[in-house]
Amino acid sequence: MAQDAVRYKVIVIGGSAGSLDTILKIIADASMTNNIFYIVIIHRKTSAESVLTDLLASQTTLKVREVEDKDAILPGYVYICPADYHLLVEDQNTFSLDSSEKIYYSRPSIDVTFESVAEVFGDSTIGILLSGANADGAKGLSKIKQAGGYTIVQNPLTADVDYMPKQAIELFKPDAVLNGDKMSALLKNLSA
């Protein structure tokens, strides 16, 4: 794995119902190595006041920010997809937000972000799909795999809601299927 370590620039994490605890664990163990940044996409209500940024910021020494349209992409950050927008990467330097139709009843869509990251960052991507109640993320994660990125799916047996990870496993063979508490160790190896 050491020969591949320097190539990763982005770790993109998608989840829905039951994914927050695993996301918090991954972010708590995250460190800035090799110019990596993180993108977090979580299905969440649009009407609620979001405390997600503060919650994640309390778990890490990395900078945490909710993305605004045309934000610059910088290493050492955890970027959070805002509620009610699809998050895309325009190029290796810039994000964009989109309010087009919902996918799998969700905006943000994990698929949209995963596919966009795969297109721009290709084999420099680590994609992670966690617990959730719909199929969003499976197709996008397969695009990351097709682009040469590394793909991780939460073990459905340990997911609070197993439908989302099961959909990915049925669609393609991810590089790793892991319990949520085992992901940080693998990420440290991949990004060391």
Catalytic amino acids?
A: 16, 43, 136
| Amino acid type, 26 | I
Task: Tell me if 110 sits within 8 A of 85, measured CB to CB.
Answer: no
Q: What does the alpha-carbon distance between residue 70 and residue 89 come to, in Å, rounded to a whole number? A: 9
Q: What does the alpha-carbon distance between residue 73 and residue 159 come to, in Å, rounded to a whole number? A: 30
Task: Give alpha helix (H) positions in 122-182.
Answer: 138-146, 163-171
Q: What does the alpha-carbon distance between residue 138 and residue 169 come to, in Å, rounded to a whole number? A: 8
- 25 SS3 class: helix
Q: What does the alpha-carbon distance between residue 97 and residue 99 come to, in Å, rounded to a whole number? A: 7
Task: Tell me if 112 sits within 8 A of 144, measured CB to CB.
Answer: no
